[in-house]
A and B are shown apart, each in its own frame.
Chain A
Amino acid sequence: MNTQKPISEEELVPLLLKKSSSGLEILYDSYSATLYGIILRIVQDEELAEEILKKTFIKIWGNIAQYNASKNRLQAWLIGIARNMALENLKSSGTKSRTQYDQVQTILGKAEKSGFGSFNPQTKELKELIDKMDNEYKQILYLLFFEGFNQSEVALKLNIPLGTVKTRSRMAIFKLRYYFEQHQK
């Protein structure tokens, strides 16, 4: 997370544009765990996730000139690329509605315990916050973010009105924002 990164996003981007290999190392050390976490959650296969992580970095490296700081924060842009690559892979393998939410948690709990879970204390704190969220918010956020569902698909899957999905997803993000406003000043 931000506090642990050796340099800021604003300093890192010019290094990447110059194709500096130390810039690439910083990029990897700062973001690989987040991106890998996303990819692994989406594809649920370690070998495949590693392959996609590799492709993600090649894509980031090749497309860094297209990054537009006025549209996105760097991390949001990186996450967007990793998510899209993993979700595309999922679509092409034709398995969009796969494992149930609870089963996913079990699979990932195992991956985290196998030794490569996060060591970052702030991450732990944030995870506890998310764990404390009501299941109805947690589940919607998870489906939207990690499963790449759109709101109508979530409504259909959970058999609740679209308006409820909209409200709950906004509320869930509000809770996260509130946490950041409290902890990052």
Chain B
Amino acid sequence: MDIKDYINSGVVEMYSLGNLNEPERTEFEQKLLLYPELGKELNKVQEALSGYANAYEINPRPSLRSEILESTLNGKAVDKKILPNSTLAKNHSLTYKYLIAASLAALAISTFASWFFYSRWEDSEERYSQLLREKNQLAQNYNLVKDGFDKTVYDMLVIRDPQAKVINLHSIDSTQNFIARIYENVVSKEIYIDVIALDEPMQDHEYQLWGLVDGVALSAGLFDAHEFSGIQRMQEIENAKSWFVTLEPKGGSTTPTLERQVLVSDQQ
């Protein structure tokens, strides 16, 4: 499930209200380590619920303060006082010494074991997150490559279509070596342009393709000048006698600026 869908399922609110069962909570806490946006969302929900609780705050009676502070601090101290037992210690001092030595040894071993397993656990946790990050990165790369591949396959289909008529466009200015090709599907009437060599348009300008039908120039739309844009689909114009490309202000024009003609189709 996408993390956005996961958040939209209301799981953050359920977690904050303590409404998730054990496996759901574990899953949530694992995801929390991996997705910072989930943490941000949790923070906001918790802030809202804390505010909600604050709105209903009631001050306890003032004398409760010292009672609670005392019992909290002493709660700890009382536990400690229970430990030593002087009479027992005198009667069984030797046994006690052994017991203490044994328990110290056990403590040392268990401390070491805790530290050892904790660091191992931390290592694996980190490697796990690292692997997940790498996996996500690979997935992103894969998607990029796949998109590129799909586009290439699509372009190939247009070019290799037996119904495609190829029209070459060359530059008006003989000092330039601009080239583009139009693929006109004679059955479906679809028009595509493939830019092979063309300069970037000047600032705030775009290239516009025109088809000449009975002496009238009809716009087939704007296109990118990048060679890597691949084949771009244009608006359909039927029965065009010739084609040309002009440089127009951004957004295109309704009639071509003829003094800015850049490309024109070869004689047919």
In the complex, A24 Cα to B66 Cα: how many Å? 11
Stretch from B53-61, B101-109, B128-136, B167-175 at the A interface: B53-61
In the bound assembly, the distance between CA atoms of A131 and B183 in angstroms comes to 67
Q: Does A73 contact B (CB under 8 A)?
A: yes
Given A50-B64, A61-B72, A144-B17, answer yes or no on A38-B51 (Cβ-Cβ < 8 Å).
no
Known A24-B73, A58-B75; judge A177-B45 contact (CB<8 A): yes
Q: Which of B8-16, B114-122, B144-152, B218-226 participates in binding chain A?
A: B8-16
Mask, B39-81, CB within 8 Å of A = 1, is: 1001111111111111111111100110111011101100000
Contact B52–A130 (Cβ < 8 Å): yes
* Contact among A19, A29, A50, A123 for B57, CB-based, below 8 A: A123
Within 8 A of B (CB), among A47-93: 50, 53-54, 57-58, 61-62, 70-73, 75-76, 79-80, 83-84
Within 8 A of B (CB), among A163-185: 166, 169-170, 173, 176-177, 179-180, 184
Contact count A vs B, C-beta below 8 Å: 148
Tell me, yes or no, whether B163 is within 8 Å of chain A by CB: no
Contact of A40 among B17, B58, B72 (CB under 8 A): B58
Are A57 and B72 in contact, CB atoms less than 8 angstroms apart? yes
Rounded to whole Å, the gap between the CB of A104 and the closest CB of chain B is 11
A157 to B75, CA, bound (A): 40
Given contacts A117-B58, A130-B52, contact A83 B18 (CB under 8 A): yes
Are A41 and B56 interface neighbours, CB within 8 A? yes
Q: Is A151 an interface residue (CB 8 A)?
A: yes
Closest chain-B Cβ to A51's Cβ sits at a distance in Å of 10
A-side contacts of B45, CB under 8 Å: 173, 177
Instruction: Tell me which residues across on chain B come within 8 A of A141, comparing CB atoms.
Output: 52
In terms of DSSP, what is the predominant structure of the interface of chain A?
A: helix
Residue of A nearest to B56 (CB): A37
| Contacting pair B44 A177 (CB below 8 A) | yes
Interface pair A33/B10, CB less than 8 Å apart: no
Of the candidates B50, B67, B71, B75, the one having the most CB atoms from chain A within 10 angstroms of its own CB is B50
Least CB distance from A78 to B in Å reads: 9
Q: Which residues of chain A have C-beta atoms less than 8 A from B14's C-beta?
A: 151
CB distance from B230 to the nearest CB of A (A): 43
**Contacting pair B55 A130 (CB below 8 A):** yes
Verify if B32 is at the interface (C-beta below 8 Å from A): yes
Say if the beta carbon of B238 comes within 8 Å of chain A: no
Inter-subunit contact A123/B69 (CB<8 Å): no
Please report the C-alpha to C-alpha distance between residue A162 and residue B69 in the assembled complex, in whole angstroms: 43
B126, CB-defined interface residue at 8 Å: no
Q: Are B54 and A62 in contact (CB under 8 A)?
A: no
Chain A residues within an 8 Å CB radius of B16: 76
Which residues from chain B contact A176 at a C-beta distance below 8 Å?
48-49, 51-52
Q: Does A173 lie within 8 Å of B54, measured CB to CB? A: no
Instruction: Output the least CB separation between A102 and chain B (Å).
Output: 16
Check if A73 sits within 8 Å of B46, measured CB to CB.
Answer: yes
Chain B interfacial positions (CB closer than 8 Å to A): 10, 13-14, 16-19, 29, 32-33, 39, 42-61, 64-65, 67-69, 71-73, 75-76
Known: A28-B68, A177-B47; 7 extra A-B contacts, CB below 8 A, are A19-B76, A33-B59, A50-B64, A108-B56, A116-B58, A123-B57, A173-B13
**5 A-B contacts, Cβ less than 8 Å apart?**
A28-B65, A76-B49, A108-B56, A145-B52, A146-B56
